[in-house]
Amino acid sequence: MKKVVELQKLDGYVYEISLSRPEAANAFSHALMDDLDACLEEVEASTDVRCVIIKGTGEKAFCAGADLKERQGMSDQQVIKTVHRIGQCIKRVEALEIPTIASINGVAFGGGLELALACDLRIARDDTKMGLTETSLGIIPGAGGTQRLPRLVGIGKAKEMIYSAIRISSEEAMNIGLVERVVPSSVLLEETRILASLIAKNAPLALKQAKRAIDSGINTDKETGLCIESLCYQQTIPTEDRLEGLNAFKEKRTPQYKGR
């Protein structure tokens, strides 16, 4: 059976996860979640990955959310279990120790936008739309949207988007801080890979500790956050990579980081 999520190793310590159900707008089917879990397991076990790109296949969608056709005929309990599983897949993306980038190549609605919200950074095509549209279907975001979106764009804007179920443009998404960059479709993948390469050339242990400091500190008060930052900084001091960085700077050469 053809895999509906594919993992590719690019040059320079970058991995790329592609959702590959273009005929179904890359929606979250059980098969897609099975394959995504397998890809994430491989990423988690890898010792040479420093940045992960997540993208959709095709021109239509990054991910349109849950597979509503597959959901037809499910019992209430089956629906609850399915939504919980989508949430667990998305949490697994968020829990990756290394930086992640969502390359939003098409529409991102519902669970698709929730997946993008779980990534560290988001780059979007300039002619697409995104939104948490669940209230228009009689439900609410159930895979983290009500929690991650307010933390990213603010409570008022998140409530406006969720209550109204509006679909916003890429430009508006950038204006409110939902995405970091908006680029033409023709250069989206190239721009995403360039950013991933810029990230991946840096010390992998430092990247992990920087992510940990930000993610652990953001939901605490500033003083606690500063303590977390200090502890994460201390983890980089005894590493070979830190010494390599200092030597490379002194010798005016590109550092060769080993992740140790």
Q: What is the CATH number of the domain that holds 143?
A: 3.90.226.10
Q: Model confidence over 3-49: pLDDT tens digits?
A: 899 999 998 899 999 999 999 999 999 999 999 999 999 999 998 89
122 with 228, same domain: the answer is no
167 and 221 share a domain?
Answer: no
164 with 225, same domain: the answer is: no
CB 76 within 8 A of CB 128: no
**pLDDT tens track for 120-147:** 999 999 999 999 999 999 999 999 999 9
pLDDT of residue 65: 86
Place of tokens 């979250």: 28
pLDDT in tens, 92-104: 999 999 999 999 9
Q: What's the pLDDT tens digit per position in 37-90?
A: 999 999 999 988 999 999 999 989 999 988 877 777 788 898 899 899 999 999
The first and second tokens of residue 89, run together, are 């897949």
- Mean pLDDT for the stretch of residues 231-241: 92
Q: Is there a single domain that holds both residue 130 and residue 13?
A: yes
- CA-CA distance, 250 to 232, in Å (whole number)? 25
Q: Give the residue among 35, 46, 26 at the shortest CA–CA distance from 2.
A: 35
Domain span including residue 231: 204-251
Query: Residues 174-189: what's their mean pLDDT?
Result: 96
| The total number of structural domains that make up the chain | 2
Residue closest to 126 by CA, chosen among 149, 153, 106, 152: 106
Q: Is the pLDDT of residue 157 over 90?
A: yes
pLDDT of residue 75: 86
| Separation CA 149–CA 130 (nearest Å) | 12
Residue 218 maps to a domain: yes
3-class DSSP assignment, residue 212: helix
Q: At 65, which helix (H) or strand (E)? A: none
Taking 70 as the threshold, does the pLDDT of residue 1 lie above it? no
Tell me, yes or no, whether 260 lies in a domain.
Answer: no
- 22 within 8 A of 63, measured Cβ to Cβ: no
Q: Where are the beta strands (DSSP E) in the chain?
A: 5-9, 14-19, 51-56, 61-63, 100-104, 107-109, 121-125, 129-131, 168-169, 181-183
Q: Catalytic residue positions?
A: 66, 111, 114, 134
Judge whether 53 lies within some domain. Answer: yes
Q: What is the CATH number of the domain that holds 239?
A: 1.10.12.10
Whether residue 232 sits in one domain with residue 161: no
In a domain, 257, yes or no: no
Q: Tally helices (H) and strands (E) across the chain.
A: 11, 10
Q: Which of 200, 226, 242 is the last residue of a domain?
A: 200
